[in-house]
């Protein structure tokens, strides 16, 4: 089994940041702020956040803010709750949350809550438990959870719970590991994990491990490095991570590395991208791989950053 090519992954992430005219950059231009979160969080887990120019990143993020208080994926685009969370997370990485008008940002997020407790992603109204997680995580980081009806938000998430113990994107929606992360993460942050049937969900989640050691997102699907994050973080939040074979998963993730140019792909020998590089490195961090900063499974930020938000006196 190979080792983590940490230095190569750092170089790869920085090269993606610089290649603004590449095909990938152009197709991803509207979601760049989300990409920045994945790339910068990976650098921080690898202990290399100082490899980027902090001032450049922060001044660009501030230009992505809309007058509503929400953030867009790039300058001149429309605001969305996902990019608003990414902006808040990246500022938290740099310990720069205090440059935000926290009330303005949180009023935007709170304004997206619907009467049944669910959240829309933006003014166009699509509802999904992803947006419940994003809103709750963002408001918690900004210490403004009191701006929403948390009980109703929890009630809506619980209404998306299925008989297999998992969660879907809306009531009756199929259980999927990505949505499970969102629902379990939101319930963890809201202090409402008692709504989860931990044994039933833990069983469904550990069944996601296939022969190669990788994890899939739902039954009969192919494994993908991204589920090392969605499944593993959920198992940790419900105290059932010892139900999977950690060594086999470490090997699967390491086998997805591009050992020459850096970066991690979804499956061995596929093309790498910044998202899967995050999912691989963050997954290894959850698996306590040596030399990596620990990451918080609910906030998806390094543990030292989360501790700084909630426990440091300013
Ligand atoms: C800050 C960590 C963090 C997250 C923000 C965006 C978000 C909140 C959560 C997304 C959760 C989610 C739904 C993840 C799944 C993404 C994914 C790989 C979907 C693919 O679905 P299919 O059906 O793939 O194409 P499968 O693997 O089921 O065949």
DSSP states along 250-308: HHHHHHTB-TTT--B-SSTTSPPBHHHHHHHHHHHHHTT-TTS--B-TTT-SBHHHHHH
Contact 138 CB / ligand 1 (< 6 Å): no
With respect to residue 166, please indicate whether it lies within any of the assigned structural domains: yes
With 80 as the cut, is the pLDDT of residue 108 above it? yes
209-220: pLDDT as tens digits: 999 999 999 999
Could you tell me the pLDDT band of residue 207, with boundaries at 50, 70 and 90? very high
- How confident is the model at residue 18, as a pLDDT? 74
* Exposure string for 231-254, b = 16+ CB within 10 A, e = fewer: bbbbbbbbebbeebebeebbebbb
With respect to residue 284, please indicate whether it lies within any of the assigned structural domains: yes
21-31: pLDDT as tens digits: 665 665 567 78
Q: Do 180 and 238 contact (CB within 8 A), yes or no?
A: no
The answer to whether the Cα torsion of 81, 83, 86, 92 is positive or negative is: negative
Q: What is the mean pLDDT of residues 133-148?
A: 98
From 80, 86, 128, 133, the mutation candidate for ligand 1 (largest count of ligand atoms within 8 A of CB) is: 133
Calculate what percentage of the chain has a pLDDT beyond 70: 96
- How confident is the model at residue 46, as a pLDDT? 98
Range of the domain at 103: 6-311
Q: What is the mean pLDDT of residues 290-312?
A: 97
- How confident is the model at residue 226, as a pLDDT? 98
With 70 as the cut, is the pLDDT of residue 6 above it? yes
With 80 as the cut, is the pLDDT of residue 17 above it? no
- How confident is the model at residue 300, as a pLDDT? 98
With 90 as the cut, is the pLDDT of residue 20 above it? no
Nearest CA to ligand 1 atom 16: 178
- How confident is the model at residue 115, as a pLDDT? 98
Could you tell me the pLDDT band of residue 16, with boundaries at 50, 70 and 90? confident
Q: What is the mean pLDDT of residues 112-130?
A: 97
CATH number at residue 154: 1.50.10.20
CA distance 66 to 143: 21
From 42, 177, 217, the mutation candidate for ligand 1 (largest count of ligand atoms within 8 A of CB) is: 217
Q: Do 298 and 188 contact (CB within 8 A), yes or no?
A: yes
> DSSP state, 164?
T
- DSSP 3-state of 80: coil
CA distance 226 to 231: 9
With respect to residue 1, please indicate whether it lies within any of the assigned structural domains: no
Q: What is the mean pLDDT of residues 99-127?
A: 97
With 70 as the cut, is the pLDDT of residue 271 above it? yes
164-181: pLDDT as tens digits: 999 999 999 999 999 999
With respect to residue 248, please indicate whether it lies within any of the assigned structural domains: yes
Query: Residue 127 pairs with which residues in a beta bridge?
Result: 120
Say how many Å lie between the CA of residue 175 and the centre of ligand 1: 12
With respect to residue 173, please indicate whether it lies within any of the assigned structural domains: yes
Q: What is the mean pLDDT of residues 103-108?
A: 98
59-95: pLDDT as tens digits: 999 999 999 999 999 999 999 999 999 999 999 999 9
Q: How many domains does the chain have?
A: 1
Nearest CA to ligand 1 atom 5: 134
- The per-residue pLDDT of the chain, averaged, comes to 95
Q: What is the mean pLDDT of residues 287-298?
A: 98
Contact 255 CB / ligand 1 (< 6 Å): no
- How confident is the model at residue 219, as a pLDDT? 96
Q: Do 59 and 99 contact (CB within 8 A), yes or no?
A: no
């Amino acid at each position: 089994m190979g080792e983590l090519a940490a230095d190569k992954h750092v170089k790869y992430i920085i090269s993606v940041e610089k290649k603004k005219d590449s095909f990938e950059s152009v197709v991803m231009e509207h979601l760049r702020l989300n990409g920045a979160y994945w790339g910068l969080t990976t650098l921080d887990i690898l202990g290399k956040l100082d490899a980027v120019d902090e001032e450049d990143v922060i001044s660009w993020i501030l230009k992505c803010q809309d007058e509503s208080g929400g953030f867009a994926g790039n300058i001149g685009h429309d605001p969305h709750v996902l990019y608003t969370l990414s902006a808040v997370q990246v500022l938290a990485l740099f310990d720069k949350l205090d440059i935000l008008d926290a009330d303005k940002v949180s009023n935007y997020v709170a304004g997206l809550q619907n009467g049944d407790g669910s959240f829309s992603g933006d003014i166009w109204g699509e509802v999904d438990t992803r947006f419940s997680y994003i809103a709750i995580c963002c408001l918690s980081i900004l210490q403004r959870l009191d701006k929403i009806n948390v009980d109703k938000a929890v009630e809506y998430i619980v209404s998306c719970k299925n008989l297999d113990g998992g969660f879907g994107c809306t009531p009756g929606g199929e259980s999927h590991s990505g949505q499970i992360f969102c629902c379990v993460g939101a319930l963890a942050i809201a202090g409402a994990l008692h709504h989860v049937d931990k044994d039933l969900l833990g069983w469904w989640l550990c069944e996601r491990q296939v022969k190669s050691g990788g994890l899939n997102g739902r039954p009969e699907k192919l494994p993908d490095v991204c589920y090392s994050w969605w499944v593993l973080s959920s198992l940790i939040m419900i105290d059932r991570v010892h139900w999977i074979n950690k060594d086999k998963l470490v090997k699967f993730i390491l086998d997805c590395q591009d050992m020459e140019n850096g970066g991690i792909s979804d499956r061995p020998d596929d093309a790498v991208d910044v998202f899967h590089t995050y999912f691989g490195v963050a997954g290894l961090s959850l698996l306590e791989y040596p030399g990596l900063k620990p990451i918080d499974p609910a906030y998806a930020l390094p543990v030292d950053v989360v501790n700084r938000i909630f426990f440091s006196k300013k």
